[in-house]
A and B are shown apart, each in its own frame.
Chain A
């Protein structure tokens, strides 16, 4: 019998029961909750007279709607000014209070983007099943967990039963063979992967990311890669546990302690695919071939290296794809064959669940240090992923570097990744963004998003246009 993949092991350990047709009841160890996708689920519980099955499995924080403006500028100290957004956050607070769920409220230093705070607290552990009403839940797979996004009906289902009704996905391995070059980051790796497999390439699969290019990454970098598994169509992305994983978890508030720590580590060391495991699909990408990436269109698969050009739909044989490319060029206000490094930007956004961890801010600060945001850039903002990331960055003096360079230094939240709060693009504005989606209107109606790494976003902010971060140096 063939060995098991990491996904097989995680899946098998959580099956409560299997029906004749293969549908399973899967046990969920951790459920993360935020304000946008939970109110209808809590209301459903109340209407049915149900209680959460296991209150301690849940952890909540408001992130999508919270203001990120600093307190001195009339920011979150005054509360949320948008009454609809305020009601949604208050509803989360009330629901968590009513059902006894731990919540890091807006004024708690542990508050932040749900996918940043859970690993930070050790609430995401190797070997767990973890879900959240948010597609970027795939992030947590970086720690060797099975993690994926769910809809609100399933949020209610997990609250009520601690389980989900699921069918197993197929296994895909994406291997980054060999080391990536200097200046090439986790974000460039995952954008290159999506460029290769397409936005639906992972549909129906759970993706394990492996190879030297992945093993060399920090846990934060692996989170960036797994975060965008969903942009490749895969609900779950994951990376095998190694010593880095164990070192990352140790000592965090929710991590096991004392006698349980040794027991947990012994179990976690098994969380890798067996040598003879069979994958349904394997993709190899040569690490040395990956360059810093910039998206040019309205889908994350519309991506090219920074030294490339905007592609020409006339060269695309597939008629539906060519139509999609033409529509994207119109929306983005770009001409085919334009060199990427000549495209000017209006705004830069460094943040989001993809790229707002301390390592991301350090990488951007290296580029920003001693430089100034270009005159044509109206706004360059840095939004830390959590209150604790913000505090750490301030301890290292990164805030000062950014502020001196002309960046705005903000409070933690999802911010301009999806523009549910006041941070958004105006129609026609072009943004270098470290977020995960360049969809039409994602960062504001008519806004034009180019996805890049934190270092590349900082480089674009100081140059005023896209530029290869490897050329401007430290």
Chain B
């Protein structure tokens, strides 16, 4: 996993609550057996005017000019500003894969669905939780200022606005550590092989029907 320390990026606003993972990456693209290449189909049904299928050339498809990510001012965005319960629904990790492949490294929202939130950290995406009023203020600032960019510092746990205002955010210590260092979870867990073996030995005595 690519490590995440700090970044400054253009902000794109996704102004609707309960954005589900079916919307982030529709089901027909889940047939892929790869982890990469989902970016062109991020938000496919909102982004294009026609119906998308795997294997077709997305560069010739008609774009929906009303969709936020198609507007010229948000090209190159790497921070997604979102509303409540972002990433709800299906557990598909294809959703963070698509966001990452498109170029998003940070999401800012008042709340996330649990599984999506967890999946982001496994892929080097930082999902930041900020108070709903603060998020509302950011939506207004993005709308009012073309080219609005934020700086994010994971170690300091701050979001810095263009006028230099610092907004603090919380992140679980272990998740922060893994993301800062780009650590592989499996490698970390396998450092505790002995603990797992001890657990299994004890559990086989208590509940042999589970083995």
Point out residues on A near B: beta carbons under 8 Å.
16-17, 19, 21, 23, 25, 27, 29, 36-37, 39-40, 43, 48, 50, 53, 56, 64-65, 82, 84-85, 87-88, 91, 125, 127-128, 133-135, 148-154, 156-157, 160-163, 165, 167, 169, 199-200, 203-204, 230, 233-235, 256, 260-261, 263-264, 267, 299, 320-321, 323-324, 327, 418-420, 437, 439-442, 445
Contact = CB atoms under 8 A, between A and B. Distances in A.
A17 B195 contact: yes
A263 B209 CA distance: 9
Residue among B119, B189, B206 having the largest count of chain A Cβ atoms under 10 Å: B189
B168 interface: no
A37 B32 CA distance: 10
B41 interface: no
B57 interface: no
17 contacts: A84-B55, A85-B31, A133-B93, A150-B118, A151-B93, A161-B190, A203-B111, A235-B114, A267-B207, A324-B18, A418-B27, A419-B27, A420-B31, A437-B22, A439-B23, A441-B22, A441-B26
A248 B88 CA distance: 32
B165 interface: no
Given A125-B209, A157-B189, A441-B23, A37 B196 contact: no
Contacts of A135: 89-91, 115
Interface residues of B, number: 58
Contacts of B115: 135, 148-151, 230, 235
B3 interface: no
Nearest to B177: A21
Given A200-B111, A320-B17, A439 B22 contact: yes
Given A162-B196, A233-B85, A420-B31, A440 B119 contact: no
B101 interface: no
B122 A445 contact: no
Contact of B91 (A27, A29, A134, A440): A134
Contacts of B61: none
Interface of B: 16-18, 20, 22-23, 26-28, 30-35, 45, 51, 54-55, 83-85, 88-93, 96, 111-115, 118-119, 122-123, 172-174, 185-186, 188-190, 192, 195-196, 199-200, 203, 206-211
Contact of B114 (A17, A21, A56, A233): A233
Contacts of A40: 33-35, 93
Contacts of B188: 165
Given A37-B92, A162-B200, A299-B18, 11 more contacts: A27-B203, A29-B210, A40-B35, A65-B31, A88-B31, A88-B32, A148-B115, A151-B93, A154-B122, A437-B20, A441-B26
Given A84-B54, A135-B115, A440 B192 contact: no
Given A153-B119, A324-B18, A204 B114 contact: yes
A203 B186 contact: no
**Most chain B beta carbons < 10 A, residue from A48, A204, A442:** A442
B33 A203 contact: no
Given A27-B196, A263-B209, A165 B189 contact: yes
Contacts of B85: 199-200, 203, 233
A151 B190 contact: no
Contact of B185 (A17, A165, A230, A324): A165
B114 A151 contact: no
Contacts of B186: 48, 50, 156-157, 160-161
